[in-house]
A and B are shown apart, each in its own frame.
Chain A
Amino acid sequence: EAQVTQNPRYLITVTGKKLTVTCSQNMNHEYMSWYRQDPGLGLRQIYYSMNVEVTDKGDVPEGYKVSRKEKRNFPLILESPSPNQTSLYFCASSSMTGGEAEAFFGQGTRLTVV
């Protein structure tokens, strides 16, 4: 079954404690991205990657890091989380066959930073 798997689904952490949210896809997609979803703001892209070892900033990259060492994995790293990073996070992947390619989403990670 084609899927994007994120872990954990829920996470409560304290300010400044480094954390990683994992994302893995089994569709051999080149393009992967991270979004955050906040009420009234829709989806905002944090980082994206078009291939292994190729990553780039999205619209709201401050306070986040990513890596793409393998094609299937695209972890999101918060080195020093702050309360304004409390949000719902989604990982997504798609092929790069054209603009019409469908994006597949993970189930989401609800992060609370206290």
Chain B
Amino acid sequence: GNSVTQMEGPVTLSEEAFLTINCTYTATGYPSLFWYVQYPGEGLQLLLKATKADDKGSNKGFEATYRKETTSFHLEKGSVQVSDSAVYFCALREDSNYQLIWGAGTKLIIKP
């Protein structure tokens, strides 16, 4: 079945550091890929998405590229801020099934 694996946290970085959170997936078809972010005490919200191979999603300085050959969708940001501290979830969904398949989430802590 479909699955999503993302790096375990917490990930602790200093402000202005470069961020990578790894995400790999297995899927039988051609899924859409998502990153959602959960700020403390809030629900999840969409950060970015990509719908086909080689697409790059971007938002708020974050980027992720849909790599079909490596079945990956790694999240990157060039210079993190304290306000980026949150839990980040990688997810996929196929057109034939509206169920979102989730990674376990990665907690990101940014220190000033």
Most buried by B among A41, A92, A100: A100
**CB within 8 Å for A107 and B43 given contacts A31-B98, A50-B98, A94-B98:** yes
Q: Are B99 and A102 in contact (CB under 8 A)?
A: no
- The total of chain A residues at the interface (CB under 8 A) is 25
Most buried by B among A33, A45, A105: A105
**Total number of A-B contacts with CB less than 8 angstroms?**
55
B-contacting residues, A1-58, CB 8 Å = 4, 31, 33, 40-43, 45, 48, 50, 58
Q: Are A105 and B43 in contact (CB under 8 A)?
A: yes
0/1 interface trace, chain B 91-111, chain A, CB 8 Å (1 if under):
001111011101111000000
- Does A106 belong to the interface (CB within 8 Å)? yes
Instruction: Identify the closest chain B residue to A106 (Cβ).
Output: B43
Q: Are A42 and B100 in contact (CB under 8 A)?
A: no
0/1 interface trace, chain B 34-55, chain A, CB 8 Å (1 if under):
0010000011111001010000
Cβ contacts under 8 Å, A108 to chain B: 42-43
- Does B89 belong to the interface (CB within 8 Å)? yes
Is the contact region of chain B dominated by helix, strand, or loop, or is it mixed? strand
Q: Are B99 and A99 in contact (CB under 8 A)?
A: no
CB distance from B61 to the nearest CB of A (A): 19
Cβ contacts under 8 Å, A103 to chain B: 36, 44, 46, 100
Q: Which residues of A are in contact with B by a Cβ distance under 8 Å?
A: 4, 31, 33, 40-43, 45, 48, 50, 58, 90, 92, 94, 96, 98-103, 105-108
Q: Are B89 and A42 in contact (CB under 8 A)?
A: yes
Q: Are A99 and B104 in contact (CB under 8 A)?
A: no
CB distance from B100 to the nearest CB of A (A): 6
Cβ contacts under 8 Å, B44 to chain A: 43, 90, 92, 103, 105
- Does B32 belong to the interface (CB within 8 Å)? yes
Q: Are A99 and B98 in contact (CB under 8 A)?
A: yes
Cβ contacts under 8 Å, B42 to chain A: 107-108
Complex CA–CA separation, A73 to B100 (angstroms): 20
Q: Are B99 and A100 in contact (CB under 8 A)?
A: no
Cβ contacts under 8 Å, B45 to chain A: 105
